[in-house]
Amino acid sequence: MQYQSQAVAKPYFIAAIGLFLGQIIFGLIMGLQYIVGDFLFPAIPFNVARMVHTNLLIVWLLFGFMGASYFLVPEESERELYSPKLALVLFWIFLVAGVLTIVGYLAVPYATLAEITGNDLLPTMGREFLEMPTITKVGIVIVCLGFLFNIGMTILMGRKTVISMILILGLVGLAVFFLFSFYNPHNLVLDKLFWWWVVHLWVEGVWELILGAILAFILIKVTGVDREVIEKWLYVVIAMVLISGLLGTGHHYYWIGAPEYWQWIGSVFSALEPVPFFMMTVFAFTMVNRRRRQHPNRAATLWALGCSVMAFLGAGVWGFLHTLSPVNYYTHGSQLTAAHGHMAFYGAYAMIVLAIISYAMPILNGRKEANSHRSQVIEMWGFWLMTVSMVLITLALTGAGIVQVWLQRYSESPQSFMVVQDQVTLFYWFREAAGVSFLIGLLCYIASFFVGKNDAEATVPGLAD
Ligand code: HEM
Ligand code: HEM
Ligand SMILES: [Fe+2]
């Protein structure tokens, strides 16, 4: 570790992985409920499991982004973190608030949770991804402010690099757009309109800046390619993200009662959104091909490359599939949406967090640059199991989605939702099986941090050079 204060990243990474495991378990519960309707009912109803699954996703990714920032900003700024203590205090606040919220979801009915957390004072609950009680949202804002202050001061007092500038821009954007979760107008059109300012402008806007910055950081470290080259790529990628992604929000305004011009704006600009994702793939592979050294942490390189490919497939290809308004007219809110949501979130954001953890954790654990060969082999098993399983989950949901759209919306004699759902059960079995192998992959990833400690020297035979 170059700077002592980078060590605060470690608890963030451990919490991220722990919550990720929880997310997957609830995904599997829901996957089974799709087939066996009353599985675990009434203890864990589907809507509660769904809330837990998606909120855990958001929270563990935020832990991951914060951990990544605490790890990379000192190195970029060439100085210690402004306040490691503050980072640790915020960690505990965030973890306790997050866990209490999940316990609240599981322990009491949602309406009761709303009541006891004072939702009627400032109603913000009841919207997908933003289900958490208002006080949790306030907690998140406090944690974000403290975090931004800490990271911002470190950057201000140290070396300023393109990577840290883009990272902080993304993080500030993340915090600013989250504020729209407090705006809850009575008019349903306005409500939906601004809801997307959090959901879309996060994943197809500011989070992409965070993704680009972390990816660039890892690539510099594992390839030894000149910073200037990487920065030039980063500028173009980020410009394309903003040009396409901001107005691309229009692809969510087709059917919510917004003016008709959004059909055009949404279709045209969101059709450009795959471009920056494709550029990131080319960028990652070009840098690795031009590398000046073979970094002993091959698992981290694999994660970085895999992330760029899967993000392009999940966000770029599966996003484009249903983004033009004449197509979206039929596919809106179907299993195709879920197929895209899964692969995009996994490919872009889960994988970049797993990549930085893979790169940073050996260093945080006191190894020189990488885990032992044995440990990396198990980690790469984790990579392939999770990634291939996610491809299979996506294909299963895509199959279900195509049949669903056909029978329910396109055919001469459309059938009702539940009648159609009964006919696609086979796809759901397939999804559940792939989900189990995803879980095994995640367990391999976790196990890799515990095995091969004794032969942990950085020099992996045959890889060192
Ligand atoms: C990493 C980036 C991305 C992530 C994490 C992501 C995730 C998601 C998720 C979770 C949803 C479902 C939202 C809901 O609950 O209704 C969604 C919807 C959608 N996404 Fe993405 N997305 C990404 C990028 C893209 C891109 C680049 C495109 C277009 C090329 C796109 C096109 C769409 C469209 C059209 C919908 C609406 C689907 C519908 O009408 O049901 N997404 N996305
Ligand atoms: C591995 C096993 C997994 C299973 C069985 C699973 C299952 C499910 C199910 C059944 C839903 C609810 C869909 C609905 O409302 O009808 C869901 C939603 C969701 N899951 Fe998963 N999931 C898994 C893993 C993941 C992973 C790894 C991610 C992201 C990294 C993820 C992200 C999401 C998102 C974003 C939604 C909301 C999608 C939308 O609104 O369209 N899931 N999942
Ligand atoms: Fe979007």
Residues 258-269 pLDDT 10s: 999 999 999 999
* Residue 460 pLDDT greater than 60, yes or no: no
Residue whose Cα lies nearest atom 41 of ligand 2: it is 338
Which pLDDT band holds residue 175 (cuts at 50, 70, 90)? very high
Q: What is the pLDDT of residues 283-326, one digit of tens each?
A: 999 999 999 999 999 999 999 999 999 999 999 999 999 999 99
Among 269, 323, 324, 331, say which to mutate for ligand 1: greatest number of ligand atoms within 8 Å of CB: 323
Average pLDDT estimate for 239-264: 98
pLDDT greater than 60 at residue 118? yes
Q: How many CB atoms lie within 10 A of CB 352?
A: 27
- Ligand 2 centroid distance, CA of 254 (Å): 24
The reported pLDDT for the residue numbered 463 is: 45
Query: What atom in ligand 1 is closest to the CA of residue 251?
Result: 35
Q: Please tell me the predicted confidence (pLDDT) of residue 91.
A: 98
Domains and CATH numbers, the chain: 1-160 (1.20.120), 218-449 (1.20.210.10)
Q: Which two tokens stand for residue 418?
A: 């539940």
* Closest ligand relative to 397 C-alpha: 2
Region 358-385: what's the mean pLDDT?
96
Q: Residue 203 has what pLDDT?
A: 98
Q: How confident is the model at residue 454 (pLDDT cuts 50, 70, 90)?
A: low
Checking if the pLDDT of 453 tops 90, the result is no
For ligand 1, whether the C-beta of 441 sits within 6 Å is no
Residue (of 374, 392, 464) closest to 428 by Cα position: 392
Q: For residue 200, what pLDDT is reported?
A: 98
Angle between helices 162-178 and 46-77 (to 10 degrees): 150
Mean pLDDT of the chain: 96
* Overall average pLDDT of the 151-164 stretch: 98
Residue nearest to atom 15 of ligand 1 (CA): 128
Mean pLDDT of the 172-178 span: 98
Q: Is the CB of 248 under 6 A from ligand 2?
A: no
- % of the chain at pLDDT higher than 90: 96
Say yes or no to pLDDT of 458 above 60.
no
The burial class, CB within 10 Å (0-12 / 13-18 / 19+), for 40 is middle
Ligand 2 in contact with 53 (CB < 6 A)? yes
Ligand 1 atom at minimal distance to the Cα of residue 328: 40
Is the CB of 34 inside a 6 Å radius of any atom of ligand 2? yes
Predicted pLDDT of residue 462 = 43
Supply the pLDDT for residue 269. 98
Residue 464 pLDDT level (bands cut at 50, 70, 90): very low
pLDDT reported for residue 352: 98
Q: What is the pLDDT of residue 205?
A: 97
Our answer on whether the CB atom of 245 is closer than 6 Å to any ligand 2 atom is no
Q: What distance in angstroms lies between residue 30's CA and the mean position of ligand 2's atoms?
A: 9
> How far is the centre of ligand 2, averaged over its atoms, from the C-alpha of 28 (Å)?
9
With 80 as the cut, is the pLDDT of residue 375 above it?
A: yes
What pLDDT digit, counting tens, does each position of 43-101 carry? 999 999 999 999 999 999 999 999 999 999 999 999 999 999 999 999 999 999 999 99
Ligand 2 mean position, distance from CA 398 (Å): 13
Distance 314 CA to ligand 1 centre (A): 9
> CB of 276 closer than 6 A to ligand 1?
no
Residues by chain with Cβ below 5 Å of ion ligand 3 = 200, 204
CA distances (Å), origin 210, targets 77, 139, 244, 270 = 17, 22, 16, 20
**How far apart, in whole angstroms, are the C-alpha atoms of residue 61 and residue 58?**
5
pLDDT for res 154: 98
Overall average pLDDT of the 187-202 stretch: 97
Ligand 1 close to Cβ of residue 328 (< 6 A):
yes
Give residue 368's pLDDT: 85
Q: What is the 3-state secondary structure (H, E, C) of the chain?
A: CCCHHHHHHHHHHHHHHHHHHHHHHHHHHHHHHHHCCCCCCCCCCHHHHHHHHHHHHHHHHHHHHHHHHHHHHHHHHCCCCCCHHHHHHHHHHHHHHHHHHHHHHHHCCHHHHHHHCCCCCCCCCCCCCCCCCHHHHHHHHHHHHHHHHHHHHHHHHCCCCHHHHHHHHHHHHHHHHHHHHHCCCCCHHHHHHHHHHHHHHHHHHHHHHHHHHHHHHHHHHHHCCCHHHHHHHHHHHHHHHHHHHHHHHHHHCCCCCCCCHHHHHHHHHHHCCHHHHHHHHHHHHHHHHCCCCCCCCHHHHHHHHHHHHHHHHHHHHHHHHCCCHHHHHHHCCCHHHHHHHHHHHHHHHHHHHHHHHHHHHHHHCCCCCCCCHHHHHHHHHHHHHHHHHHHHHHHHHHHHHHHHHHHHHHCCCCCCHHHHHHHCHHHHHHHHHHHHHHHHHHHHHHHHCCCCCCCCCCCCCCCCC
Sequence-distant (6+) residues with CB within 8 A of 433 are none
| Atom in ligand 2 nearest the alpha carbon of residue 28 | 5
